[in-house]
Amino acid sequence: MDSESLLLSLELASGSGQGLSPDRRASLLTSLTLVKRDYRYSRVLFWGRILGLVADYYIAQGLSEDQLAPRKTLYSLNCMEWSLLPPATEEMAVETSVVKGRFMGDPSHEYEHTELQKMKEGEKVFEEEVVVQIKEENRLVSVINQIDKAVAVIPRGALFKTPFGPIHVNRTFEGLSLSEAKKLSSYFHFREPVELKNKTLLEKADLDPSLDFMDSLEHDIPKGSWSIQMERGNALVVLRSLLWPGLTFFHAPRTKNYGYIYMGTGEKNIDLPFML
């Protein structure tokens, strides 16, 4: 959610039960403004909160002019002092995929994972148990990256693409209408499109290239991994992801208010197919 409209967004996203205490909110308002100034971002988003056993991580992201460029991620333990996280890489993702369980809450904590590695000694090849240390910071980075790629949502029409290339925020976005807001096809993944080129020519002909340049949520696998609800007496549409429980996207139809926030344990719900 945008740091400019933090209070309103927090209130609209409160239907999932998780929010922020007043002291955290106050700290965020000041610190995010300072982050914007210091790092020279054009927009700062409060991404959410990952609950750990000992402490919680508060995550923010900074965007440059081009909305789909890779985002910079910052984390903080007290909503005041922010530290930049390294960008996510493939190796990090592979390395941290073996770690299961909750986050500890201490960025210097290291998980131990024993692996069987083949060691060669001379001509003998034998397997040895090697204990691999995985830093929690890396795990944090890759989890945030996965969540962004999988379930970050933006409504259709909020961003538009110019012929020069960069993607801009659409200042004339007036919100989705009520009938559009209830359909999953009006929401896009906030990431580089992956499936767009697989569409048939007929489908592509109906698309508007300046608005429909991202994947929509409609064809997510497994089907039904989004729960779409109207709250507050039909004045707010809330999308909750079932794959990453804790991600809430809200939008008030016919207004410009929209945003998403993740408040959860940072674990993927692998049991999703059993639960539907």
Partner 1 sequence: MGDPPPDPEPPSQQPSSWRSSQTSQRRSWEVNQFQPSVSEEVQQIPLDGLDLQSSQGIPASQTNLRGWSSGASLTQPENLMYQPEEAPLGGLEYPSLNMGFPSELQPQPYLEEGESQATRTASLMLQQLQQGQGNLFQQLDSSYQPDLLGQFNMYQREDLQFDQGAQHGPYMRDDPTLQYTPSELGFMPFSMEVPEPEPRELAVQNAKAYLLQTSVSCSLSLYEHLVNLLTKILNQRPEDPLSILESLNRTTQWEWFHPKLDTMRDDPEMEPTYEMADRQRGLFLRSGAGGEGEQELEEEVVETAVPNIMETAFYLEQAGVGLSSDESFRIFMALKQLVEQQPIHTCRFWGKILGLSRSYLVAEVEFREGEEEAEEEEVEEMMESTEGMDAHGGEEEGEEDEEKVIDIIPKPMWKPPPIVPKEESRSGTNKYLYFVCQEPGRPWTRLPHVTPIQIVQARKIKKFFTGHLDAPVNSYPPFPGNEANYLRAQIARISAATHISPLGFYQFSEEEGDEEEEGGAGRDSYEENPDFEGIPVLELVDSMANWVHHTQHILPQGRCTWVNPLQKMEEEEELGEEEEKADEGMEEVEQEVGPPLLTPLSEDAEIMHMSPWTARLSCSLCPQYSVAVVRSNLWPGAYAYASGKKFENIYIGWGHKYSPDNFNPPLPAPIQQEYPRGPEVMEMSDPTVEEEQALKAAQEQALAAAEEEEEDEEEDEDEDLDD
Least distance to partner 1, CB of residue 9, Å: 11
| Residues 112-131 contacting partner 1, CB under 8 A | none
Query: Please, are residues 103 and 156 in contact by the beta-carbon 8 Å criterion?
Result: no
In whole angstroms, the minimum distance from the beta carbon of 199 to partner 1 comes to 22
Binding mask 16-55 for partner 1 (x = CB under 8 A): xxxxxxxxx--------------------------x-x--
Closest CA to 234 of 261, 259, 253: 253
Shortest Å, Cβ 87 to partner 1:
29
Cβ-based nearer residue to partner 1, 72 or 184: 184
Which residues inside 256-275 make contact with partner 1, applying CB under 8 A? 264-265, 270-271, 274-275
Does 78 interact with partner 1 (rule: CB under 8 A)?
yes
- Which region, judged by CB under 8 A, interacts with partner 1, from 38-46, 83-91, 106-114, 174-182? 174-182
Number of residues that bind partner 1 (CB under 8 A): 48
156 in Cβ contact with 147 (< 8 Å): no
Does 210 interact with partner 1 (rule: CB under 8 A)?
yes
What does the buried/exposed string (b/e) look like for 97-130 if buried means 16 or more CB atoms within 10 Å of the residue's CB? eebeeebbbebebebeeeeeeeeeeeeeeeeeee
Q: Which stretch binds partner 1 (CB under 8 A): 40-48, 65-73, 112-120, 230-238?
A: 230-238
**Segment interacting with partner 1, rule: CB under 8 A, options 32-40, 63-71, 173-181, 190-198:** 173-181
| Rounded-to-integer distance, Cα 156 and Cα 147, Å | 20
Q: How far is CA 232 from CA 201, 250, 253, in A?
A: 40, 12, 12
Asked if 228 and 177 touch (Cβ cutoff 8 Å), the reply is no
Which DSSP string corresponds to 114-159? EEEEEEEETTEEEEEEEEEEEEHHHHHHHHHHHHHHHH-EEETTSE
- The structure tokens listed for 202 are 């007929």
Write out the residues near partner 1 by the rule CB under 8 A: 11, 14-24, 51, 53, 78, 100-102, 160, 168, 170-172, 174, 177-179, 210, 224, 227-235, 240, 242, 245, 264-265, 270-271, 274-276
